[in-house]
């Protein structure tokens, strides 16, 4: 049958029923099922049904982890007179993800009363501009949006991006990626001074992972510092120098057994050591036994099989692309806790690092000194 249009002064309720019936006839659906297609009388679409997750599974939002740190940062800035130190970010690539990160950073810094300046430079001029910022007393922190040169050959040996990381003064390295802080991280040296009054700066995204795990009570606060991941197994997929390797080392230094998976190898990280497994370890075998799964593959083509994930595992995606089908993961893996984007926690750690640098080295940066830190 066809529902004919009529010219009658009927109530909006009756009108809506006619519209629903019409859609139902066109789609062979019951009128109640057609409500979402017909919409409400006020023109708004029907609300989407709430997702149905496996028992105990939940999605963790970056805001809930970042919020207490940002509140702490605002309180610290108030104690400094209401205006915080200044971070300069250098953008020398056309990467949309880097620009998005810069936009998040600027927005967060304004909200938290910190100062941020984005300087867009040509890649060939970046080293010179870094040197200027190193000795500028108005600049308290420096970061670079990577990759700049990527894997292109470098005159200096290794990769040119590695060389740029080591060009940033340790007094101003808000990302904790220069040689001094990398060496301290891998040696599990947590302070820059013998008196242990000044903590080292740690890489922002790896630190964001640790703080997320602490928030989810994966770290055992009853154990001494440095042992709170004892008995836990983690896997980190991608062994980049910016995220993958540092986060594997940080978790291992806190007592975890950490599988490090890259495109052509699987290693095992324990405190201060990297082991090549005797058995034929694979990404699948590593994931299946892990309590924590951290994914950082910078490709939209890579997807981890959700069926590999242990029930009750914590899964954190740190890549700009989703490395797993989150809907399937949350619907099929009971007890899993999943964070799909960590960027806001990373920005909070960047702010925290800037304040730590200011606390540790303000007298030196005010004098325009940029020499390395030696103990």
Active-site residue numbers?
A: 204
User: Residue 83 CB: number of other CB atoms within 10 A?
Assistant: 11
**Residue 294 contacts residue 245 (beta carbons within 8 Å):** no
User: How far apart, in whole angstroms, are the C-alpha atoms of residue 304 and residue 10?
Assistant: 55
**Residue 250 contacts residue 206 (beta carbons within 8 Å):** yes
Nearest to 120 by CA among 98, 140, 136, 137: 98
At which residue do the structure tokens 């979402």 appear? 36
**Residue 39 contacts residue 49 (beta carbons within 8 Å):** no
- Residue 252: strand pairing partners: none
Strand arrangement, sheet containing 314-317: 58-59, 337-339, 314-317, 292-295, 233-237, 257-262, 265-270, 273-275
DSSP string, 55-73: TT-EEPPHHHHHHHHHHHH
């Amino acid at each position: 049958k066809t529902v004919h249009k009529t010219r009658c002064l009927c109530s909006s309720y009756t009108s809506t029923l006619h519209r629903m019936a019409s859609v139902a006839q066109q789609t062979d659906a019951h009128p109640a099922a057609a409500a979402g297609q017909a919409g409400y009388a006020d023109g708004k679409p029907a609300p989407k049904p709430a997702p149905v997750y496996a028992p105990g599974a939940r999605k963790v939002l970056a805001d809930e982890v970042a919020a207490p740190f940002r509140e702490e940062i605002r309180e610290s800035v108030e104690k400094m007179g209401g205006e915080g130190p200044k971070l300069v970010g250098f953008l020398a690539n056309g990467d949309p993800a880097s620009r998005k990160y810069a936009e998040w950073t600027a927005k967060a810094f304004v909200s938290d009363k910190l100062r941020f300046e984005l300087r867009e430079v040509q890649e060939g001029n970046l080293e010179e501009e870094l040197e200027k910022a190193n000795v500028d007393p108005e600049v308290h922190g420096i970061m670079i949006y990577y990759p700049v040169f990527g894997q292109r050959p470098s005159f200096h040996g290794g990769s040119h991006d590695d060389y740029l990381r080591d060009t940033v003064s340790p007094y101003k390295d808000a990302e904790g990626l220069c040689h001094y802080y990398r060496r301290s991280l891998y040696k599990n040296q947590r302070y820059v001074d013998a008196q242990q009054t000044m903590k080292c700066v740690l890489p922002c995204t790896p630190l964001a992972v640790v703080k997320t795990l602490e928030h989810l009570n994966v770290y055992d606060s009853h154990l001494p510092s440095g042992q709170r991941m004892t008995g836990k197994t983690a896997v980190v997929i991608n062994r980049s120098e910016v995220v993958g390797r540092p986060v594997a080392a940080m978790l291992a230094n806190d007592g975890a057994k950490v599988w490090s998976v890259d495109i052509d190898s699987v290693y095992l990280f324990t405190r201060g050591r990297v082991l090549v497994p005797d058995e034929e370890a694979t990404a699948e075998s590593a994931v299946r036994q892990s309590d924590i799964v951290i994914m950082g593959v910078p490709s939209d083509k890579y997807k981890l099989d959700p069926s590999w994930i242990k029930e009750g595992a914590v899964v954190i995606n740190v890549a700009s692309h989703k490395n797993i089908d989150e809907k399937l993961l949350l619907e099929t893996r009971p007890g899993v806790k999943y964070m799909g984007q960590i960027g806001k926690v990373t920005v909070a750690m960047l702010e925290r690092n800037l304040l730590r640098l200011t606390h540790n080295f303000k007298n030196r940066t005010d004098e325009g000194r940029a020499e390395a830190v030696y103990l």
